[in-house]
Chains A and B, each alone.
Chain A
């Protein structure tokens, strides 16, 4: 019953989305406020209906309603309740529904929030969003229906993939979806303004925070995914240039370029066509990422099995690309920016270089991901491009990126005093060279590591100095205004003021942390061996002693493991127990690794095999500095909060008024 209501709700939402598009088009043509109002309200109705469908599916999961095929395939009675709730996005159909739910929520938000400030382009923007919604709902009521029934209903479900029964995995997909879907808002605004032909900078200002939001969740989603791969897949790493990973990295790269280049448009009114291209590329690549994940054309741990919605996504992507670029071409004359001169060394040019860096990175990933596909499709050659391809090309570009990241903060718009710049970077430069020289002489790692590490340290110093300076700025401006502020007020002011600048600096410090973490990978050690109870083996600075085999139950799995004593300098640091987990729903065990974390390095043990003679075979990895990567999340969260607190000046002043001129 509940399930039928859910399906009916999806059908109604589909009809309503079509209705909204027609009404919006009519409203634009007749300039009718009422028609547009009706469409705006229908976005709220769509949100409610999709919400009902989502709840119906959750209800089916929680009640083990195996007459719903999707539930039977992705759940079982023994699954812990929490995972039953999250299993909704454990498979393709349900995750599509989650996607649509987020989109419906964002669309409703846009419909309500921007009714005054973006009156002219709002109807066009809503058409774009409703078209995307229509496409997703079309899949959901047909090919990819998560509420489809099957008779007779099985007594037990297939169970949720044990790999997905992990807290990191629970939040990895929704976070990515939040990011992907949020990028559709600036995209819809961009296309909306192209359709309307109103091409001032308003869409940039209005969607600034949506873009930040999208970037943040995409970043967090990818880190969660990397973290999940690290603890769950047992090969000791977190990134393997797998096609699906690349699929999420590509929109991230263009999205990051967009995030930076819109600032140039906002401040200097340049790069207006380029920004359109970037947001179109970002959205298209996020659809490509979905296509790669959903279609099964490329096999990886992430892919859902083959299905017929792959071609639908491909077609959707082509339509979006052709339509958007056609529209952009048609409107290009409205987008010509007056050329504003800037000196060679200026913020504008640094941003420009930043954009080139990100776009080249994106092309690298695109080439490495798509080339094998093309080779197979066109020349019938089956091949794979290996990680060294990406590493070789990305490393030097990444070094350039990190340098730029540090220096750009010091540059001024239009022009920069080179003398001042030299003075500002001299000390950080020396402070970065010295430790890297030491590293070079002690460890003699590859040059990429030295340069990447050196630039990360260099950028880190600059960012910290800037952060200190941004605190001073407020104090100085208060003094100038003759404001007397007590100490606590000053402290508070220096903490909350200038959120945009602080946010940017702190997020960039997260990138520095991440870069340092990546540098650690140059020193990774890996070994595999077999030993029996009572025996020990030394790995790196540690001595591993096999204590005994143990057996215990955890959640719905039976675990058999090896208790390993970790000894350093005769002192027992820890007992690690890597295990094999036997889930009732799967015939083969899963390997659960055991990790000893420390700031300097992780000791990572994976139980490869328990042999018949009572010995165990272990894979042992030592991963230096890897925790810096996970720690970067803290910077991203703090920086994100700061950045979101900033509202563009142009919007702040004139909030609530109906006609807004831009700063052109």
Chain B
């Protein structure tokens, strides 16, 4: 390998290293992890003041919609029967109703409820351009946005 080539290789490696360094540092600032209500409630201190995403199903009879303040209060749960209260400011999405799977993103307040800024609702099967119906669980497993 002549010197010129070597220079190119070293330069290339440096550039790639810098790029990945930037990716990783910017990426980790903008990364949110997914948790279940049980995980969050088992150790609320760990999640304080951190942006997290929580997946769960909307509990029956828990939806309180304050149209004047455009505030949505509800409770989500998972298989372990653990429940997490969620407060979301903003409009109620089209598909939002009891029993639906949702993903909420926000931060845990006073270790008690999640102040959500993002609310994603699972779309109904009929709405999907789907040729195979997939179950709730598999949906939640693959949900990402």
Contact = CB atoms under 8 A, between A and B. Distances in A.
Interface of A: 69-70, 73-74, 90-93, 158-159, 161-164, 240, 242-243, 296-301, 304-307, 360, 363-364, 367-368, 371-372, 381-389, 392-393, 528-530, 585-591, 606, 608-609, 611, 613, 615, 617-619
B89 to A, nearest CB: 8
Given A393-B22, A393-B26, A611-B67, A297 B124 contact: no
B31 A386 contact: yes
A92 B131 contact: yes
B134 interface: yes
Contacts of A585: 126
Interface of B: 19, 22-23, 26-27, 29-34, 53, 65, 67-68, 70, 90-92, 94-95, 123-124, 126-134, 138-139, 142-145
A301 B95 CA distance: 13
A304 B123 CA distance: 12
B95 A385 contact: no
A74 B130 CA distance: 9
A73 B67 CA distance: 36
A367 B67 CA distance: 40
A608 B91 contact: yes
Contacts of B94: 588-591
Given A367-B23, A588-B95, A590-B94, A304 B131 contact: yes
Task: Count chain B CB atoms within 10 A of each CB in A243, A298, A528, A611 and give the residue with the most.
Answer: A528
A305 B133 contact: yes
Contact of B23 (A242, A364, A388): A364
Contacts of A389: 26-27, 29-31
B8 to A, nearest CB: 12
A385 B127 contact: no
Contact of A617 (B29, B92, B123, B133): B92
A384 B32 contact: yes
Secondary structure dominating the interface of A: mixed
A383 B19 contact: no
Contacts of B124: 586-588
B120 to A, nearest CB: 9
Contacts of B134: 296, 305-306
A384 B70 contact: no
Contacts, number: 135
A389 B26 CA distance: 6
A70 B130 CA distance: 10
Contacts of A615: 67-68
Contacts of B65: 609
Contact of B30 (A306, A385, A613): A385
A164 B34 contact: no
B91 A619 contact: yes
Nearest to B139: A299
B145 to A, nearest CB: 6
Contacts of A158: 126
Contacts of B132: 305-307
A93 B133 CA distance: 15
A611 B126 CA distance: 25
A390 B33 CA distance: 17
Contacts of B129: 74, 90-92, 161, 164, 304-305
Contacts of B95: 588
Contact of B144 (A93, A159, A162, A243): A243
Given A530-B68, A588-B94, A609-B91, A307 B32 contact: no
Contacts of B31: 383-386, 389
A386 B26 CA distance: 10
A89 to B, nearest CB: 10
A606 B93 CA distance: 11
A388 B30 contact: yes
B131 A161 contact: no
A363 B24 CA distance: 12
B67 A70 contact: no
Given A161-B127, A392-B26, A617 B143 contact: no
A299 B131 contact: no
Contacts of B142: 296-299, 306
Contacts of B90: 528, 619
6 pairs of A and B residues whose beta carbons are closest in the complex: A608-B91, A305-B130, A382-B34, A389-B30, A611-B67, A386-B30
Contacts of A589: 94
Given A305-B131, A305-B133, A609-B92, A299 B70 contact: no
